[in-house]
Chains A and B, each alone.
Chain A
Amino acid sequence: MAIELSAVRYRYAGASVFALRSIDLRLEPGRVVGVVGANEAGKSTVCLVAAGLAPGVVGGLLEGSVRIDGVETATLRPHELAQRCGLLFQNAATQLSNTTATVFEEVGFGPCNLGLPVAEVGDRAWWALGTVGIEKLAPRDPARLSGGEGQLVALAAVLALRPKYLVLDEPTSELDPAGTSLVAEALGRVARETGAGILLVEHKTDVLARIADEVVVLERGAVALAGAAAPTLADPRLAELGVEPPAAVKLERMVREAGIEWSAALAEAIR
């Protein structure tokens, strides 16, 4: 039971170089795996490959194996993939269908596409809205939401398909601090309450420090570092790999480097 990428290489259609050169990655239900790396290290590509959209929808050449619960993604059609693995991008505006009058219907859009009975669509929409904690937004016009609200609606809309895994590509990068907190809290709740496995690409390592179980660091299309979240985010090689460490890690490092004796009081203050 997992999304498994083994020895994955991937090249976009028309590209001469491989965007992913060597990726091994495992996402289990109920776990939050953070993905970080410098720009153009392959983070977004990993999302598309893990969710099965590359090469299925976007084309390109894939080598190695990508399996969701043991099934090769290449054998699944897009709507079958959508029920196994949800995908969320950074820009809420491009993810809403633009064809619904209310947030409730927007969240019901996926289940409606599956042709589920009306009662089931209603159940799923309320469940997804409740899990993300945005029942209040249900009557609103999706075109008139703030960035943070829009992203939460997009998350609920993907959840309504009841996927066992979620892949999120920088879901907070367009958001203000309050919006970032809302999304981070919602993701933590989704992982706890639905048992979904979450693959989260995120520049804001402070968010990962809060909710990730594991962190994978990419460099030029390959895994450079991987492991439990806390030690990986504190790894001194992180900065060389183009990743800003969490604020607490940076501060502890500055204090230690200044030759100041580390103490329990300091550790308590810098958390």
Chain B
Amino acid sequence: MDEFEDALSSVLPRLRRFAHGLTRDPADADDLTQRTAERALRARGQWQTGTNLDAWAYRIMRNLWIDTVRSRKRRDKVMAPAEEGRDVGVAAEAEGKAELHFLMRALERLPDEQREAVALVMIEGLSYAEAAEVLEIPAGTLTSRLVRGRQALARILSGE
């Protein structure tokens, strides 16, 4: 295993956690993690040695997820809305992951742009600068999405 694969495999567990925050669905999260790993390996020539591999890989995952959401929206226009996620939720509860499931449902109620900011900073622990780099937005934009997202989450969790 070379240096790149080494670095990529060490970030995979965190990528998979980020995928849970983004997709709010364990099956989607695992699929997204795999596709991100594949994409990163194919695109490894685009990664510059010495730059932040984590931010690069997070960005690949986030962009893949945007594509997935778009294509699902196109598909759902021509098909009946799928009952996706329902069974998975039940399975997650059965596995004693009720709390994780509950928090993913709370994240679901945020706008996409707030959810990804919250996932990167509050769950993944990235600095504001790193998160802004992943999302390719100015630091001020990141901060305002992050704060609005957290305010909304706090309201959701307090049952308002």
Q: Is B a genuine binding partner of A?
A: no
